[in-house]
Amino acid sequence: MQKRSFPITGNNLTVENSVKIVISDQNISLSKSSAKKINASRKLVEKWIANDEIIYGITTGFGEFKDVKISQKDLHTLQRNLILSHAAGVGKYVPDFIVRLMLLFRINSIAGGYSGVRIGLVEHLIKIFNSGIIPLVLSQGSVGSSGDLAPLSHLALTVIGEGYCKLDGEIIESKLALKKKNISPVNLSAKEGLALINGTQMMSAYLCKSIYDAEYLSKLADISGSMSLDALRGTDRAFDEKLQRVRPHKGQISAAGNLRKLLQGSEILKSHKGCGKVQDAYSLRCMPQVHGAVKDTIEYCRKVLEIEINSATDNPLIFSESEEHIEGGNFHGEPLALIGDFLAIAMSELGNISERRVARLVDGSLSGLPRFLIDKDKAGLNSGLMIAQYTSASLVSENKVLCHPASVDSIPTSANQEDHNSMGSISARKCFDVINNVKKIIAVEFLCASQGIDFVRPLKSGKGTEEAYLFIRKTIDHVSEDTITSELILKMTEIIFDENFLQSVEKKTGTLE
């Protein structure tokens, strides 16, 4: 049975559908409206070439070589040489998932009909995407302002049958992979090399996956924070709706609403009312304010990213209706550089406050729980979850280094023709790393909060937190003696990122925001 394809229009991608296309290995196709626009812009390019017009990157060299006129007989060679020379990346390979998103976004950008390429090139890119061929892309080398030139050039190498790629999990030469899938390498025509590499698709891809994961993590942090509050016998008084309404940030209201839903009906909360505690520490009491600010940041970053992935980002751009080519700077990565830094900082804060709750959980003098969450009769001989907090603290500190903004830096390139660069690729990669660290920090909190709740049994936690606790305890038992802690953290990460985990909680609480 043939897979149903997703029609690419140039303006219909979102964070969700982009990630789902890649996760589900869905095929894509070119919409009829896009095909019409691509053909119209290509017709103009061919007319200008026939008239021997001077157009940047089409009949001239690139960057500082903008004033070098290229003869018509060399236009194909110009585009091929562009790919070869600009494939100057170094470092680690970009993860397969991110490369697939890069290819999807490059196809979508060209599908807008402003790039002046032949429709055959777009169809070729779609064949590669649908075939499962994954170009090997090196992650370092982009300054993020003529777009992600080096990474996208490595992507384009596979298109022309050069370099290496992955097919069925194996690294092979691109020409062999294309042959196995009955796809011929493309002989690039005028403008096409430039159209493939002038854009922000690597930084967009990293940020798309980061935003997708950040939204999920934001909900997980509300759940882990609620579990910590119950284990620490805190109060939900600070989450009162009346309090939130007088400082009505959208994210704060959403976070407080989630916390109330999760803790609703908690026997633990009821058991210590009137205990004399006036208010909790900030890491508990201020969850709506901190978690909420993170939610607002994620929402803003999503808006910027979704504009970007549906934009034309190469240069020059072709406007067929007015028969114009306009040289500009839509490839400049500043919008993405800024949100990459902003999102990294916000998610780092989500990790920071989580680690502070963990620190309270393992500190017997603050928590009222057994020290380091190990049974009193086994303490000393066993260290319990002492070092899990060290791991969380280490990741938090690493994130502080990674959160130094990349977007405030610039260094000139191309003999000062390109004299201000965004460093958006660095911002996006750092953000991706920060979020992967936060995943483990939140997993440590779930581990410690579950252990803490064990010590207040048989009292039950709230509607949502109880469900989360029971889901975890189906796989991870109470830690009654020392074991390999890293394996517990890894297992917990797998549990909370199983889609059934959040679904199970939301069946009890309703949808979390």
Is the domain defined by 206-314+325-509 classed in CATH 1.20.200.10?
Answer: yes
Residue spans per domain, the chain: 5-199, 206-314+325-509
Tell me how far apart the alpha carbons of residues 16 and 26 are, in angstroms, rounded to a whole number. Answer: 13
Distance CA 291, CA 297 (A): 10
As a whole number of angstroms, the longest Cα–Cα distance in the chain is 89
pLDDT for position 63:
66
* Contact in structure between 309 and 19 (CB atoms under 8 Å): no
Helix, coil or strand: residue 322: coil
As given in the structure block, the two tokens for residue 21 are 């296309």
Give residue 276's pLDDT.
66
CATH superfamily of domain region 5-199: Fumarase/aspartase (N-terminal domain) (1.10.275.10)
Read off the amino acid at residue 324. E
- Distance CA(84)–CA(234), nearest Å, equals 61
| Beta carbons within 10 angstroms of residue 311's beta carbon | 19
Same fold, 5-199 and 206-314+325-509: no
How confident is the prediction along the chain (513 residues), in pLDDT tens digits per residue?
567 899 999 999 999 999 999 999 999 999 999 999 999 999 999 998 888 888 887 888 776 676 778 788 888 888 999 899 999 999 999 999 999 999 999 999 999 999 999 999 999 999 999 999 999 999 999 898 888 999 999 999 999 999 999 999 999 999 999 999 999 999 999 889 999 999 999 999 999 999 999 999 999 999 999 999 999 999 999 999 999 999 999 999 999 999 999 999 999 999 887 766 768 999 999 999 999 999 999 999 999 999 999 999 998 999 999 999 999 888 999 999 999 999 999 999 999 999 999 999 999 999 999 999 999 999 999 999 999 999 999 999 999 999 999 999 888 877 777 778 788 999 999 999 999 999 999 999 999 999 999 999 999 999 999 999 999 999 999 999 999 999 999 999 999 999 899 999 999 999 999
Among residues 56, 164, 216, 300, the one annotated as catalytic is: 56
d(CA 404, CA 395): 15
Q: Is 56 a catalytic residue?
A: yes
